Structure 1
Amino acid sequence: MRYEVERKFLVAHEEWRAGAVSRRRLTDGLVGEFAGGKVRVRLDDERAWLTVKGRRDGLARPEFEYEIPRPDAEAMLSLVCETCLIEKTRHCVPHAGLTWSVDEYAGALTGMILAEVELEHEAQAVALPGWLGREITTDQRFRQSTLLRLAREAGRPVTLTEVLSARL
């Protein structure tokens, strides 16, 4: 069984762009949520996969990924996840031996930019890039399902200020 160990941050400014070495468009659909976990379908230009993530314990959570046929993913996105879609461009930005994922959201979350880094273990030392803002790893307001709900309730993309002032 694989555990995902990651830290998430707000992005303070645009300096990360100069270090980006690649990018790819992603579409995520929330299939369902359960006891602190979720099931999502993800599609990029080359592949499609289903991911099951368990409840977070500190920085870690169990994660299971299964590649699926592209037509199945497209059908799930349109038939099962139509109101729970996340569109983003993921930029890969190397820094101090780690690769940071900077997600620039579109659609219902246009304007939101978040960064994350996957670690080998929770105690791993991390040199934080200067373009990071505050850490949001355990902040429930930045769960994708919460961001989508806030955007649906507003009827438009939500701003960072609105997310930070949201009461859960």
Structure 2
Amino acid sequence: MALEIERKYLVNLEKLGTLENGNRIKQGYLSTNKDAVVRVRVKNDKAYLTIKGSNIGATRLEFEYKIPVVEANEMLDKLCQKPVIDKTRYLIDYENHTFELDIFYGDNDGLVVAEVELLDENETIKLPSWIKEEVTSDERYYNSNLMKNPYKNWKK
């Protein structure tokens, strides 16, 4: 059984400095319901089909499989719900953890989120100064929900 344990945070880009070596990611959802989501993702020249279970705290089941990029692009174009999530991901190492920082575009432009995977849900980690607040339990920040209710629709 594959478990994903991660925490999610909002980011203050002004405190972060220059970002380098980001990877553009486009992802769409074939299915989203309370029990599971099925996602297609193209990242550079690789593509993946991912199935994620529902969250229990910061933990959920996750299964990921490589698929041909041509087929992934066709799924994104013809089968996935719209809008497709478009973002650039930067990997930032800090205090023995890697933070995945996502800068969103399109309907989610202006949103910047960092995620960090943990070994245990109760693991204590040191947060960098550019972290603003934790949003792990706020379902609006799940990528599958950003597709349904994009950031541009939120009241600021």
**TM-score (norm. length: structure 1):** 0.85
Find runs of 4+ consecutive structure 1 residues off by over 3 angstroms: none
| Residue matched to 2:124 | 125
Counterpart Cα distance in 2 of 1:68 and 1:13: 33
| Residue matched to 1:84 | 83
Counterpart Cα distance in 1 of 2:81 and 2:149: 16
Offset at residue 120 of structure 1 (A): 1.2
Q: Deviations over 1:120-145 (max 9, x none)?
A: 11122210111111111010121223
Q: Deviations over 1:11-45 (max 9, x none)?
A: 13422244x45310000111111224200000011
Q: Is the 8 A contact 1:147 1:163 kept in 2?
A: no
Counterpart Cα distance in 2 of 1:86 and 1:117: 19
| Residue matched to 1:144 | 143
The count of aligned residue pairs is 156
Counterpart Cα distance in 2 of 1:9 and 1:126: 13
Q: Deviations over 1:99-120 (max 9, x none)?
A: 1011000111111111110111
The CA RMSD over aligned residues, in Å, is: 1.8
**TM-score (norm. length: structure 2):** 0.91
Identity %: 35
Q: Is the 8 A contact 1:28 1:41 kept in 2?
A: yes
| Residue matched to 1:47 | 46
Moved more, 137-146 or 90-99: 137-146
Correspondence 1:44-83 to 2 at 5 A: 44-81=43-80, 83=82
Structure with bigger helix share is: 1
Q: Is the 8 A contact 1:141 1:163 kept in 2?
A: no
